[in-house]
Chain A
Amino acid sequence: MLNEEIIIAGFGGQGVLSMGQTLGYAAMVEGKNVSWMPSYGPEMRGGTANCITIVSDSTISSPIVSRFDTGILLNQPSMEKFESRIKPGGIIVYESTNILHASDRKDIGVYAIPASDEANKLHNIKIANMILLGAFLEKKPVVSIEGVMEALKKVLPERYHNLLPINRQALEVGAELMRKAQ
């Protein structure tokens, strides 16, 4: 039974909320249930932002949970806030370009993904979040890469569809980094 409870957290502007939404769309496209609960309000404007995304093949009870199967963490404050709230056996996928002090928990998998560095190599810092998503999906394929691409087609306005290839590339780079990190 699939029921993946994910916290995605970082600074506003790092694409935290949109990563959760893209994942949510992909889950919907694949006929799964999904809930996406953002932190909203002033936090969105330069402070910390997070969203809880739950992907499930059955009815989702609470869209708000305090313990997570996966943390996708993009900055140091998020690491400090959420590392203790990952369930034993869960994973943390983190942006190792920004986060210098990662969790040293032994009961969870902790994976360093230098997403910003890799995004810079692709000349588009904005796709760092897609690299992290690709890494996460390599470890836990709750949705397929094809599902994510389908979702991006829906989420992105037509005029940005020229960015679809680079997004696919980012997802693949992320997957490759995860294979190396394991």
Chain B
Amino acid sequence: MELKEDIRLMKGNEAMAEAAIQAGMDAYFGYPITPQSEVLEYLTREVPNRTGIALQAESEVAAINMVYGAAGAGARVWTSSSSPGWSLMQEGVSYIAAAELPCLLVNVNRGGPGLGTIQPSQGDYFQATKGGGHGDYHLLVLAPNSVQEMADFVFLGFELAEKYRTPVMMLSDGAIGQMMEKVTFHKREIVKSAKPWATTGKTEDRERNIITTLFIQPEKMEIVNIHLNAKYEEIKKNEVRYEEIETKDAEYLLVAYGLSARISHKVVILAREKGIKLGLLRPITLWPYPSDVLFKLADQVKGMMTVELNAGQMVEDVRLAVNGKVKVGHYGRMGGIIPSPEEVEENLEKFIKTL
């Protein structure tokens, strides 16, 4: 039987790479690291017969600076890595944010700190949402929770990056990168925005274009900061994304993103079988954070609990969002351990008893 649509069974990492080609990527620069090496493998296999450039750099440091150069030259460019490699890229990411270069950056999160483990983790939440590199900047952070979203957010990521002239990050994890699911690729019209600021060679009809992050006079540097922050405010206003599951009548709320949100979805099913009115809020953008909806839900529910593959990072943003209106708990496993839905459900019940 022939499939009508382009439906495939793929790993998250492969889906992301395929999506990038379909999104008209000009270039990818990366360095192998588990659990995301499939990206570079897929691209180096596919790209010679299709379009774009896929180059294995000598390090993540080089890769991110190649992204800087290519993005500055107007290319649709991206890179991916996993936690230790992503840490290495942070200097370059700060430069890219400062120079306002649109690009897509992916961290397939593994357990840390240090060399850590290659198993999935959400230990890089702070790094992704609070900076990571130096200086006052933000990345627009998308958190996929399925192989389908690993693909979809590549298209979305490039679009948002070019719309706001800002780096967009996708924060995934080893499980979503490695697991296979059905993914549908829709035919899309690829529109690339004009980049009159790009360094493509100074023609006579324009002044020279300079991509720089050096503003040595404090007054100028502050103006740049004010400009960047105005842009971030605009992003906060327009781009908050989240998903609500069974929240309408919820008395308790789980808050979780990515793989944890998938586990938490099952927890909602298990809890409701037991008569506990549980809902789930899944932030899709981790920055900007869906604070407003949490603030509203705080009037409705008796307590909230985050489920994270870390020691409790996003819980701080939930607490900031609800501003003391309800108790906010956290349940997490670390170091690459993934909790089962039953385990989370049990701990939810313990949390409910403390309310």
Contacts and interface: CB of A to CB of B under 8 A. Distances in A.
Interface stretch (B49-57, B259-267, B313-321): B259-267
A67 interface: yes
A64 B9 contact: no
A24 B266 contact: no
Contacts of B119: 41
A62 B34 CA distance: 23
Which secondary structure dominates chain A's binding surface? mixed
B182 interface: yes
A36 interface: yes
A94 interface: no
Interface string B18-46: 00000000000000001100000000000
B72 interface: no
A49 to B, nearest CB: 13
Contact of A33 (B118, B182, B269): B182
A48 interface: no
Contacts of B342: 66-67
A28 interface: yes
Interface stretch (B124-132, B173-181, B291-299): B173-181
Contact of A38 (B179, B182, B265, B268): B179
Nearest to A85: B340
Interface string B161-185: 0000000000000110011111000
A65 B266 contact: yes
B341 A62 contact: yes
Interface in B69-124: 118-119
Contact of A64 (B1, B35, B182, B263): B263
A63 interface: yes
A162 interface: no
